[in-house]
Amino acid sequence: MQSPLVITGMGMISPLGCGVKAGWKRLLAGRSGLSPITRFDTSDLPVKVAGTVPDIANDLEGGFDPDRLLDAKERRKMELFSLYAMVAAEEALTQANWFPSSDTDRRATATIVGSGIGGFPTITQAQNTLTTRGYRRLSPFTVPAFLANLAAGNVSIRHGFQGPLGCPVTACAAGVQAIGDGMRLIRSGEAEVALVGGAEACIDPLSLASFHAMKALSTEQDNPAKASRPF
């Protein structure tokens, strides 16, 4: 009989708020994470509502605040989905009290963070820059920013984890596949500890327009809290 695996820490960044405590409290209260999009102009888009992560400036209890973890220079090198992964991972590792200092423990720690798309906004921004300003104006961090595996990569680099590294790219199932991959790595003996999860941040005009073309998004505007009613 196989020994049970134990979850010792959790981290969360979501439209309901940042941090497990804030997000869970709001979920139990029946709060919706959907709201009108304010990050960019949606006047020419049929979709005007999304589940965006609140900012610390507008939500002191559950707003996203990467400044507490990374300085401005580090943040400029990363796409938003990587920043979400970094902050959520920090919360999970703090709960688990897992900040290994020995090479043995670091080699025994796997990092699996799934992402369906990766840095989608960076790709669209780079294309706009190329079209309007030319290739010389592209940032050298364009490719490292949008690669889906960089969420897992940035987390493992920050904490010095040297075990297996992975990034399932399986659309909406990427995060849950990461959990399964971590479980299998521990079961097989390839790792003793696994940091697993998923990260996504693809709310931008091209992404919304593309998903709308698939008829995969709601065009409800009057009541954002009821825009998503899949069942």
Model confidence band, residue 229 (pLDDT cutoffs 50, 70, 90): low
Tokens of 17: 């708020």
Q: Give the pLDDT of residue 1.
A: 62
22-26 contact pairs (CB < 8 A, 24+): 22/61, 22/62, 23/62, 26/62
Whether 195 contacts 186, CB under 8 Å: no
Model confidence band, residue 222 (pLDDT cutoffs 50, 70, 90): confident
Helix/strand number for the chain, H first, E second: 9, 7
Has residue 5 been placed in a domain?
A: no
Has residue 61 been placed in a domain?
A: yes
Has residue 7 been placed in a domain?
A: no
* Domain CATH for 45: 3.40.47.10
Has residue 4 been placed in a domain?
A: no
Has residue 8 been placed in a domain?
A: no
Tell me the H-state helices in the chain. Answer: 20-28, 72-76, 80-96, 103-107, 120-133, 142-146, 150-159, 174-188, 205-213
Q: Which domain holds residue 78?
A: 13-223
Whether 120 contacts 146, CB under 8 Å: yes
Give the number of domains in the chain: 1
The answer on pLDDT for 32 being more than 80 is yes
Has residue 42 been placed in a domain?
A: yes
Has residue 113 been placed in a domain?
A: yes
Q: What is the rounded CA–CA span in Å between residue 86 and residue 72?
A: 14
- Calculate the average pLDDT of the chain: 93
Task: Give tens-digit pLDDT for 162-174.
Answer: 999 999 999 999 9
Has residue 24 been placed in a domain?
A: yes
- Bridge partners (DSSP) of residue 64 are 55
Residue partners of 162: CB distance under 8 A and separation at least 6 = 103, 106, 107, 109, 156
Of the chain, the percentage scoring pLDDT greater than 90 comes to 84
Question: What does pTM read for this prediction?
Answer: 0.93
Tokens of 59: 């939500």
Task: Give tens-digit pLDDT for 46-66.
Answer: 999 999 999 999 999 999 999
